[in-house]
């Protein structure tokens, strides 16, 4: 699979241009996600919205995993992956204490 851009293919691009393209794509996708989350916030409560975000992210990562077919980590590497995942999730989902807010 080869992505065609105005300057040729991805294989022809320098690492400087690839980094710039990755940055632009990431910012655009993040901005689109922000707009969708703001508009859906009136319809979905935080729990289902977090579930949908997790489902979309997992689906995207599953497509990447199927595309590249990397071997599944084993042993110590698997323990590090799981530990990092749990630590990230715990840190990400920790609530901030805000005065005047429920749970604050």
The mean pLDDT value for 70-88 works out to 92
Q: Is 38 left (phi over 0), alpha (psi -120 to 50) or beta?
A: alpha
One domain, residues 14 and 50: no
- Boundaries of domain holding 1: 1-43
Regarding whether 56 and 38 lie in a shared domain, the answer is no
Mean pLDDT for the stretch of residues 2-20: 67
Q: How many domains does the chain have?
A: 2
Main-chain phi, psi angles of 93, to 5 degrees? -90, 0
User: Given this model, what pLDDT does residue 7 score?
Assistant: 53
What is the average pLDDT across 55-64?
90
Closest to 1 in 3D by CA, of 64, 53, 62? 64
**pTM for the model:** 0.51
In a domain, 102, yes or no: no
What is the average per-residue pLDDT within 54-82? 91
Q: Please indicate, yes or no, whether residues 56 and 87 belong to a single structural domain of this protein.
A: yes
| Cα–Cα distance measured from residue 77 to residue 70, given in angstroms and rounded to the nearest whole number | 14
Task: Say how far apart CA 37 and CA 58 lie, in whole Å.
Answer: 17
Please state the φ and ψ torsions of residue 58, each to the nearest 5 degrees: -65, -40
Q: Which two tokens stand for residue 85?
A: 């995942």
CA distance 64 to 58: 10
> Region 74-94: what's the mean pLDDT?
89
Tell me which residue has tokens 């969708």.
36
pLDDT, position 72: 85
């Amino acid at each position: 699979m080869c992505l065609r851009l105005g300057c040729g293919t991805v294989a022809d691009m320098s690492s400087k241009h690839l980094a710039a393209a990755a940055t632009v794509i990431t910012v655009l996708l993040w901005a689109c996600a922000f707009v969708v989350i703001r508009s859906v916030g009136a319809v979905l409560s935080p729990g289902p919205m977090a579930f949908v975000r997790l489902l979309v992210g997992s689906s995207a990562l599953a497509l990447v995993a199927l595309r590249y077919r990397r071997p599944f980590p084993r042993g110590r590497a698997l323990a590090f992956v799981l530990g990092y995942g749990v630590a990230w999730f715990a840190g990400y989902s920790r609530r901030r204490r805000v005065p005047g807010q429920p749970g604050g």
